[in-house]
Amino acid sequence: MRRMILLATAAVLSASACSPTSPATPDPSAAPVSTAAEAGTDPGTQLDFGEPATLVWQPTADLTGELELSVESVVGPRASVFDGWLRDDTMAASRAYFLRVRLANTGESDLGGQAVPLYLRDDGGTLGAPWTLGGDFTACQSGPLPTPFAAGAEEEMCLVYLVPDRGRIRDVVFEPTEGYDPIVWTGDVEEQARPGARKKDAGKKVRDEQGRGG
């Protein structure tokens, strides 16, 4: 049975920043996914980073959304980027990832302020939702869709994920409701370059992080 988590809400920011918003897990009682399968990518589709999918779901009972979304890249940031934002014990117990996504509203509804049900699945099969740190965390301005986000709008976003117990990413999934066969993205995980690193090292990639120590 799939495990769901709500990442620790005990993690707090320093006095100089706002509190992080802990992610929510999918709600099995939420409104059902739209049945207009011809309008969206088939459930269960497997994609590589950079490949787009058309996502159809109902954020609320009276709102149906349609997005074209691609996971452009996944980066493992240095822990130091969270200095002053997340407590040291939070970072010691977690592994962070930045997901960069490209989105376009291909439907008719304004989706401003809605959270896309896009989850990071770790090597233990646990799904985690993105964190919103708030304030001016310029390294990755994670959050819901901008307001407004009307038909035809396009946006590039960065989403912050914290994997508990220093787990590692398996893949990224779109899963609007429990029991939905998720749309899955996989690919290389990039390592964030260290300050002063040689240019040729800046784009170093790791094909499969599973099994590596850390």
Asked if 161 and 6 touch (Cβ cutoff 8 Å), the reply is no
List Cα–Cα distances, 134 to 91, 137, 156, in angstroms: 17, 7, 18
Distance CA 66, CA 87 (A): 37
Condensed to tens digits (0 to 9), the pLDDT of residues 126-176 reads 999 999 887 889 999 999 999 999 999 999 999 999 999 999 999 999 999
Q: What is the pTM of this model?
A: 0.76
State residue 148 phi and psi, 5-degree precision: -80, 170
Domain range summary for the chain, segments of one domain joined by +: 43-190
Q: Looking at residue 196, what is its pLDDT?
A: 56
Rounded alpha-carbon distances, angstroms, from residue 213 to 40, 63, 149, 193, 209: 39, 44, 41, 19, 9
Six-digit token pair at 214? Answer: 């850390």
Q: Are 141 and 158 in contact (CB under 8 A)?
A: yes
Please give the CATH number for the structural domain made up of 43-190: 2.60.40.1240
Q: Quick check: helix, strand or coil at residue 92?
A: helix
Per-residue pLDDT of the chain (214 residues; tens, 9 = 90+): 444 433 333 333 332 344 455 565 444 444 444 434 458 999 999 999 999 999 999 999 999 999 999 999 999 999 999 999 998 898 889 999 999 999 999 999 999 999 999 999 999 999 999 998 878 899 999 999 999 999 999 999 999 999 999 999 999 999 999 999 999 999 999 987 665 555 444 444 444 444 444 4
> What pLDDT shows up at residue 195?
57
